[in-house]
């Protein structure tokens, strides 16, 4: 078979540009959903003995694109991220083109300096005094890194000797926190029951006095509190825990305070909304997903510590000198302070995007997202067929549709959401608030207009009305 040396030819460029352009065409469906069995029948997934031609691969790539969910589409509201970033795409492309790993300056010189610059920039935005940090593989893993630092701080011998007969370490998060804290307690050998969920108020914010109470109860039981995980932007309600009131409690009990800003961290970029995170400068660590509100391709996540030294102390081990040669550029190498060995270059895309949009571009982006979310909330409030289930804290709007026959609202709204997605018109997710199933509309794409939001509600209400008729 003719295996030419492949380069970008016109056909490939057209495939990419068509895909980018189609997302802005109102007639393009958000998704072309098929159940797994049917999808499997449409595509030849078998891996052959003899390889295929580049032409055939192009055809398969086109199929892949046509069955992918268009997350850059203006009617995609399903996750805590959406939209499309061209500088981000370029970053991904050139990251793969140059294919390297972040362990040493020697093999990733520009990327290492870019990452270092980003850590300094973001550390300064957090107002951390002597920040250190790393780009790592997601918010969950940022929460893991924070818990690991805190665990080793509480038990300094543990890194070498493992657990001995010490009292149980307990971590405190809120009822609305991300599930990764429990996963991490499992990974770290603490046990999921060591994670205590502090009560939240009506908006979903951790109640400081309940935190203090939970810590006291744990102490009375002979346990050893070591960690508090506060959240800046909870996944369902978009709530921000009151950091300023949590800081004195963690200081009083000498606990590590980590802030999970995976979702809401980017509000720091707006002078108007960063007030939601007041007190962050006194937290010990912070994770921030640039792939959510900053719109970068997944994964782009930054972990920051207020004071230098913790990352290396927690992560370094002996026996890595085959890769790290301290003699040469040791102080520049990021690898020894990372949990990972090979680590993808995520700095290029974020650095390029930041260069392109500037601080001002991101400030406008965050302000715009909040403005759009306020508009969406107003629509819900004004329409008697819609019920706002909780006041909006940031960019999440939790509501439900009220049909004229109100016997099973949960069932109705679940079906509404499924039918809407299957129609390919709009995609939005749902969640539970206590026993109520709610539609969770999340506004994360600043390219939306009010008309796009109107269209979303039109699509939803139309689908609901035809459901009512049946
Ligand atoms: C998305 C999210 C996470 C998980 O981040 P990943 O990058 O998906 O691992 C954790 N916490 C919060 C609050 C989130 O919104």
Query: Do 304 and 286 touch, CB atoms closer than 8 A?
Result: yes
Query: Do 275 and 366 touch, CB atoms closer than 8 A?
Result: no
In this predicted model, what pLDDT tens digit does every residue of 60-100 receive, in sequence order?
999 999 999 999 999 999 999 999 999 999 999 999 999 99
CA of 170 to the centre of ligand 1 (A): 21
Indicate the pLDDT class of residue 25, thresholds 50, 70 and 90.
Answer: confident
CA–CA dist 162, 364 (Å, integer)? 48
In this predicted model, what pLDDT tens digit does every residue of 195-210 receive, in sequence order?
999 999 999 999 999 9
Q: Which of 136, 187, 235 to mutate to test the pocket of ligand 1 (most atoms within 8 A of CB)?
A: 235
Query: Do 389 and 433 touch, CB atoms closer than 8 A?
Result: yes
Query: What residue owns the CA closest to ligand 1's atom 15?
Result: 263
Indicate if ligand 1 lies below 6 Å from the C-beta of 260.
yes
Residue 339: name the closest of 161, 142, 158 by CA. Answer: 142
Phi, psi of 167 (to 5 degrees): -70, 160
Indicate if ligand 1 lies below 6 Å from the C-beta of 266.
no
Indicate if ligand 1 lies below 6 Å from the C-beta of 140.
yes
Cis peptide before 299 (omega within 30 of 0): yes
Indicate if ligand 1 lies below 6 Å from the C-beta of 262.
yes
- Would the pTM count as exceeding 0.95? yes
Indicate if ligand 1 lies below 6 Å from the C-beta of 180.
yes
- Indicate if the pLDDT at residue 1 is higher than 60: no
- Indicate if the pLDDT at residue 432 is higher than 60: yes
CA of 289 to the centre of ligand 1 (A): 7
Indicate if ligand 1 lies below 6 Å from the C-beta of 231.
yes
Question: With left for phi above 0 and alpha for psi between -120 and 50, is residue 27 left, alpha or beta?
Answer: alpha
CA of 80 to the centre of ligand 1 (A): 9
CA–CA dist 241, 232 (Å, integer)? 6
CB count in 10 Å sphere of residue 371 = 12
Up-side HSE of residue 157: CA atoms within 13 Å toward CB? 5
Query: Do 400 and 386 touch, CB atoms closer than 8 A?
Result: yes
CA–CA dist 350, 269 (Å, integer)? 14
Buried b (16+ CB within 10 A) or exposed e, 90-110: ebbeebeeeebbbbbbeebee
CA–CA dist 302, 115 (Å, integer)? 10
Query: Do 214 and 192 touch, CB atoms closer than 8 A?
Result: no
Q: Tell me the pLDDT of the chain averaged across its residues.
A: 95
CA–CA dist 272, 286 (Å, integer)? 20
Q: Encoding tokens for residue 158?
A: 């543990």
Region 9-32 average pLDDT: 93
Indicate if ligand 1 lies below 6 Å from the C-beta of 178.
yes
In this predicted model, what pLDDT tens digit does every residue of 42-51 receive, in sequence order?
999 999 999 9
What pLDDT sits at residue 407? 81
Q: How far apart are the first and last CA of the chain?
A: 56
In this predicted model, what pLDDT tens digit does every residue of 149-193 receive, in sequence order?
999 999 999 999 999 878 999 999 999 999 999 999 999 999 999
Indicate the pLDDT class of residue 326, thresholds 50, 70 and 90.
Answer: low
């Amino acid at each position: 078979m003719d295996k030419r040396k492949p380069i970008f030819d016109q056909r490939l460029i057209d495939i990419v540009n068509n895909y980018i352009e189609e997302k802005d065409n109102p007639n393009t469906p958000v998704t072309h959903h098929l159940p797994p069995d049917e999808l499997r029948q449409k595509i030849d997934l078998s891996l052959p003995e003899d390889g295929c031609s580049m032409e055939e691969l192009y055809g398969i790539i086109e199929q892949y694109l046509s069955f992918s969910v268009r997350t850059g589409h203006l009617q995609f509201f399903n996750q805590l991220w959406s939209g499309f970033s061209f500088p981000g795409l370029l970053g991904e492309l050139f990251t793969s083109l140059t294919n390297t790993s972040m362990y040493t300056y020697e093999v990733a010189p520009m990327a290492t300096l870019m990452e270092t610059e980003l850590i300094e920039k973001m550390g300064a935005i957090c107002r951390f005094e002597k920040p250190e940090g790393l780009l790592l593989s997601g918010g969950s893993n940022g929460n893991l890194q924070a818990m690991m630092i805190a665990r080793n701080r509480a038990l300094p011998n543990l890194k070498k000797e493992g657990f001995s007969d010490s009292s149980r370490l307990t971590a405190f998060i809120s009822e609305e926190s991300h599930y990764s804290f429990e996963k991490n307690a499992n990974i770290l050998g603490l046990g999921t029951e060591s994670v205590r969920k502090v009560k939240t108020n009506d908006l979903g914010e951790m109640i400081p006095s309940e935190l203090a109470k939970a810590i006291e109860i744990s102490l009375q039981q002979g346990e050893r509190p070591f960690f508090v995980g506060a959240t800046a932007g909870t996944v369902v309600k978009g709530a921000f825990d009151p950091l300023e009131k949590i800081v004195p409690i963690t200081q009083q009990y000498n606990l590590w305070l980590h802030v999970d800003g995976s979702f809401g961290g980017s509000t720091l970029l707006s002078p108007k909304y960063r007030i939601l995170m007041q007190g962050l400068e006194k937290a010990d660590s912070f994770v921030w997903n640039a792939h959510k509100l900053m719109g970068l391709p997944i994964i782009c996540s930054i972990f920051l510590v207020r004071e230098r030294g913790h990352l290396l102390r927690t992560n370094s081990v002996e026996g890595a000198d085959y890769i790290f040669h301290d003699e040469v550029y040791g102080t520049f190498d990021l690898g020894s302070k990372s949990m990972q060995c090979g680590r993808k270059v995520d700095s290029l895309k974020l650095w390029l995007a930041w260069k392109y949009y500037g601080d001002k571009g991101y400030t406008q982006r965050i302000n715009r997202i909040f403005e759009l979310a306020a508009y969406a909330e107003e629509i819900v409030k004004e329409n008697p067929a819609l019920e706002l289930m909780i006041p909006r804290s940031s960019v999440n709007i939790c509501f439900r549709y009220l049909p004229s026959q109100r016997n099973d609202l949960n069932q109705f709204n679940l079906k509404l959401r499924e039918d809407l997605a299957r129609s390919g018109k709009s995609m939005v997710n749902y969640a539970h608030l206590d026993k109520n199933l709610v539609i969770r509309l999340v506004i994360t794409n600043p390219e939306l207009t009010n008309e796009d939001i109107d269209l979303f509600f039109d699509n939803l209400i139309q689908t609901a009305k035809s459901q009512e008729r049946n």
